[in-house]
């Protein structure tokens, strides 16, 4: 089954990172054992190409475009996607907050976080998905309340199986990824992709729903290496010039 084609806004031009340098930095940063393993945008695009089923493709693309945890993405309902607003976005309720129930959140916290959806291709994909699939509901046996079901009513194991099949298919086509791919890989990849596009770390903390900045700060280590390497700081000096300089220094120094 193919998705109907709906008009989509033109993609604005954007400066893409130097992915050759990004690959080199990732390899250098691999010495940090605590650094999350992530994919770069060309790798994600190559993997998505091998997710043939369009509902599965939309789910994996949602992980990539939102940085949602697996259980958060599986809980998303159609009404959580605000695709026709002036700024398309999705409202995600964090896993901890969902488990806490419907009571008032702690002071200074929100039961939701909002992630802008800035990729027109992804927004168009979700619009086409919702135009093709009816929203499903369930009725509470005790209260009779009619509740919307999540967009994807599958288990986390099912999602992992989707990714295994996609990576196997990609490998047979000659597309080999440098790391093992899990649903959480896309959360790490989202974080690094946002940092590569100069999103401030404190903003990223909000998008990821991290309570403590330390959880977000780990992603910045690779950029510390980038800054250090790009300065081209040299420690060697022409010996003859150095000796001449030292001989001309006043004795009082």
Question: How distant, in Å, are the alpha carbons of 48, 52, 77 from that of 70?
Answer: 17, 20, 14
The sign of the CA dihedral 20, 21, 25, 26 is negative
How far are the Cα atoms of 26, 212, 222 from residue 206, in angstroms, in the given order? Answer: 24, 10, 20
Say which residue the tokens 């998505």 belong to. Answer: 48
Active site residue 99: no
Nearest to 159 by CA among 75, 70, 95, 80: 70
Residue 17's contacts (CB-CB under 8 Å, 6 or more residues apart) are 41, 196, 197
With beta carbons less than 8 A apart as the criterion, state whether 65 and 14 touch: no
Annotated catalytic residue within 79, 96, 147, 221 = 96
93 labelled catalytic: no
Residues 89, 187, 188, 193: which is the catalytic one? 187
CA Rg, the chain, in Å? 24
Q: Which one from 38, 122, 196, 219 is the annotated catalytic residue?
A: 219
- Does the annotation mark 210 as catalytic? yes
Per the CB < 8 A criterion, the answer to whether 159 and 51 are in contact is no
176 catalytically annotated: no
Angle of CA points 95, 216, 221, to nearest 5°: 150
Strands 112-116 and 137-139: unpaired
The vertex-74 CA angle with 69 and 79, nearest 5°, equals: 110
Active site residue 77: no
Q: Which residues pair with 89 in a beta bridge?
A: 82, 116
- The single residue of 26, 56, 57, 69 carrying the catalytic annotation is 69
- Tell me which of 93, 98, 160, 210 is the catalytic residue: 210
Active site residues: 69, 96, 184, 187, 210, 219
């Amino acid at each position: 089954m193919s998705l109907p084609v709906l008009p989509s806004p033109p993609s604005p031009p954007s400066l893409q990172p130097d992915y050759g340098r990004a690959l080199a930095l990732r390899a250098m940063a691999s010495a940090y054992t605590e650094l999350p393993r992530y994919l770069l945008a060309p790798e994600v695009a190559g993997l998505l190409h091998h997710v043939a089923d369009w509902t599965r493709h939309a789910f994996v693309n949602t992980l990539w475009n939102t940085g949602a945890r697996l259980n958060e993405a599986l809980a998303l309902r159609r009404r959580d996607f605000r695709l026709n607003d002036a700024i398309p976005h999705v409202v995600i309720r964090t896993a901890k907050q969902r488990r806490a129930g419907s009571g008032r959140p702690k002071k200074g916290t929100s039961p939701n976080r909002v992630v802008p959806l800035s990729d027109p291709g992804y927004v168009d994909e979700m619009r086409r998905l919702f135009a093709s699939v009816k929203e499903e509901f369930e009725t509470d046996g005790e209260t009779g309340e009619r509740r919307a079901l999540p967009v994807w009513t599958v288990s986390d194991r099912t999602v992992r199986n989707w990714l295994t099949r996609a990576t196997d298919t990609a490998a047979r086509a000659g597309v080999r990824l440098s790391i093992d791919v899990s649903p959480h890989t896309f959360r790490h990849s989202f974080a690094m992709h946002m940092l590569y596009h100069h999103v401030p770390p404190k903003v990223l903390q909000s998008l990821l729903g991290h309570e403590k900045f330390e959880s977000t700060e780990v992603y910045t280590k690779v950029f510390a290496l980038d800054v250090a390497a790009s300065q081209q700081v040299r420690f060697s000096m022409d010996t003859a010039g150095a000796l001449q300089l030292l001989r001309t220094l006043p004795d009082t120094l």
